Structure 1
């Protein structure tokens, strides 16, 4: 069996962590009747694909489609009467905002959410739809967060951090209690890390229940903030990632202590692996996840040898993905697998040229979806013609046969590759 290269944990007692298994269990009792006890199911197909026994924890089945409800609700239930009456405030444009807004409305606690002015309207409307007051301020999350702290003081509100608070961490830890009850044979947990709240809570609970369990954190390559901290490196952070739910530039001051003490390793995953994981979960498990929710599976895909032969628990931590983005991810995955392709073919600009090319597509039983002609913006001579043909094939081998037939027919063919 492949052993996982570990980060040396802190010596016992060197730095006491402020959340214990007792806190996680208490949080479970507190929130149990108001959140979904999501299923944990083995995936035979993903197990065969990755070489590990894969259990999936479907946190995308929560009412707001993310685990964030757990910590938010635990925090709200621990407020005193005065704090409940005045209300809470947070800076978030994502799942924390919706979880806090939904349970605040249920409990009669006023919720104010500060979002950057650049936040997509759909996220504003979703949060307002759960009963929160949304304040749009600034161009970046940092500006929105600073304004939220100002309003906290001005209005006497209670600030609820998305990850860097003990009560939030304890609530998130309830995911591990359920997962290990339903799948006690799990010997490795692969947990997405953004700010680190989910890892901190799950790691605390899992290490107490199964001291020998392997705890692996996962970050997107574009946002390796916690990876940088635990590995003592300085990789660049920033960019457009599919895993926006874990796109955190600065790890929590509290959560980094948990990760340093509990993690056996932290790994990075590429955007390509994240896209493939989102697509696989939809195709195989018929479940919709956002990029962050697919990060665990992306780690198994990209670091296959690391997990071979192990029994792995993955948390599908969220399912809030824009439908247009999801469609784009699925089409890109079809293209990478050879089932969808765009071929750039050089023709002579004469009658029947396109007919002769399309005849080869017909002979190879390939479906033509779109045809794009280019006569002007090309480096070819005036009588030259570039045609891009978008087509649908059965698999990569079928696509290769088509290209070979076109070349045999005397055509110059170049596949248009994805990044």
Structure 2
């Protein structure tokens, strides 16, 4: 397998530079100093389409014969692969059709069209678009350019690793200890692992995935490919439910370890890239950096040299707000606390004195009763988890009931932006958190579907520039109808989580207790 892919990658290197760039391998001095190791950044975000995807797409398309070229190529994608296929086909003079979900942001649709591709909007999700693309293959004889489950695409992505090893000598690197690779379907991982293990077998290949989209890690742990029931949507570039068959075959033999990182850690890694290079990678593009940081927490990295693949920079501007909100939490540089304070003059001042000279990032107040008030407060930290624990202990020593909300997704996504509490007599409220495809009329469709039978007692909608909206919704469910409601929600097909017992809900209601 190694020699076979090494030959394929060598041949791919004779093609891909017709359209792709040899991207820089750069030092990350600030991150290196913080982690105590040497961190190098492979800047695939600087490609013409701001992603490595161009390599594999071009390598695949360039090998088509004249008859196949005349019939054209088709791909299903809502992001980087779409732009890679469009540019590759444009350079080769081949018609390209890109099937994209109707939820795809206009900036990506316009980008495909500006590169000469025909963008077809179909369905609300990737699976719908993929099925339609396959219909075009069967009806018109077009060639499918798969984003990752194709040996030629994998070989094209493998040229990234070929460059990395060639670029080590000018940086005076004698041994690269590990390379950290973002993983969706696994095409990039397979290509890099094949080249690295053939030419530098002592270098570890580390798969990095979001905690809520770890299809490759789950497959390697199970010893077979698995299909995730649902995937997180923040790192949309790697939101894949099942790893490709060929990438999995390669990864099973060659990948050394798989690690996962949280949304907050991804946001912190995006901020790290901005601080290092004034660059803003997309969430999937920052996975490699987040992986290095997580690895440094788990192992002794002193004297080691690591490479993180910065795989892409096609981020929607609207998402930067969400990234900025969560980056501090990802580095344990902010604490979100729910605290009960006395409802009397001077309480707020006394509470701030307990916090000390730390910066307060937000302060949300809700009157609870004549004797007490509930606050939701964000506090900047410089000492990470240890400082947060010490701060909580100090507040509790002063008889403040405290609930740590720093790791609570509902609190971070919804409650910190809400005010209010339980209305009198509202004792049959059940709380659900939803995600649904974002399109014109989507919120109305949601309300029609969910609110047609049960009364909606709470509604908080938020979108941070992704293709999916997020809603926190309270439904009044009379005794005995909870199971019926769950069945109805399952039939509607919306992704949802029950949150009635979430401590963040008690914060909102003003009934939280110390935890």
TM-score (norm 1): 0.81
2:51 to 39, 61, 66: 66
Q: Secondary structure at the match of 1:212?
A: coil
Partner in structure 2 of residue 223 of structure 1:
213
Partner in structure 2 of residue 96 of structure 1:
81
Partner in structure 2 of residue 239 of structure 1:
231
- Matching of residue 32 in structure 1 with residue 24 in structure 2: no
Partner in structure 2 of residue 81 of structure 1:
66
- The alpha-carbon distance between structure 1 residues 393 and 191, as it changes in their structure 2 partners (threshold 3 A), is closer
Per-residue deviation, residues 369-400 of structure 1 (Å, max 9, x unmatched): 7664434xxxx325755455667677779999
For 1:273-312, list aligned pairs within 5 A: 273-304=265-296, 305-306=298-299, 308=301, 309-312=303-306
Please report how far the alpha carbon of residue 171 of structure 1 lies from its aligned counterpart in structure 2 after TM superposition.
0.9
1:346 to 341, 347, 361: 341
Partner in structure 1 of residue 307 of structure 2:
313
CA contact (8 A) 1:222 1:236 kept: no
Q: Aligned equivalents of 1:145 and 1:368: distance in 2?
A: 47
CA contact (8 A) 2:75 2:98 kept: yes
CA RMSD of aligned residues (A): 3.4
CA contact (8 A) 2:261 2:290 kept: yes
- Matching of residue 381 in structure 1 with residue 369 in structure 2: yes
- Matching of residue 196 in structure 1 with residue 186 in structure 2: yes
Gapped runs of 5+ residues in structure 1? 1-15
Q: Aligned equivalents of 2:327 and 2:130: distance in 1?
A: 36
CA contact (8 A) 1:332 1:418 kept: no
Q: Aligned equivalents of 1:105 and 1:392: distance in 2?
A: 49
Partner in structure 2 of residue 12 of structure 1:
none
Please report how far the alpha carbon of residue 220 of structure 1 lies from its aligned counterpart in structure 2 after TM superposition.
2.2
Per-residue deviation, residues 120-167 of structure 1 (Å, max 9, x unmatched): 333323322322212222233222211111111212211100011122
CA contact (8 A) 2:72 2:142 kept: yes
Q: Aligned equivalents of 1:157 and 1:227: distance in 2?
A: 33
Q: Aligned equivalents of 1:314 and 1:370: distance in 2?
A: 33
Which structure is richer in relative contact order (CA contacts within 8 A, separation 6 or more)? 1
Q: Secondary structure at the match of 1:32?
A: helix
CA contact (8 A) 2:89 2:95 kept: yes
- The alpha-carbon distance between structure 1 residues 53 and 107, as it changes in their structure 2 partners (threshold 3 A), is same
Gapped runs of 5+ residues in structure 2? 409-515
Q: Aligned equivalents of 2:205 and 2:352: distance in 1?
A: 56
CA contact (8 A) 1:20 1:204 kept: yes
- The alpha-carbon distance between structure 1 residues 412 and 128, as it changes in their structure 2 partners (threshold 3 A), is same
Q: Aligned equivalents of 2:399 and 2:278: distance in 1?
A: 43
Partner in structure 2 of residue 47 of structure 1:
32
CA contact (8 A) 2:72 2:94 kept: yes
| Count of paired positions | 397
2:323 to 323, 329, 335: 329
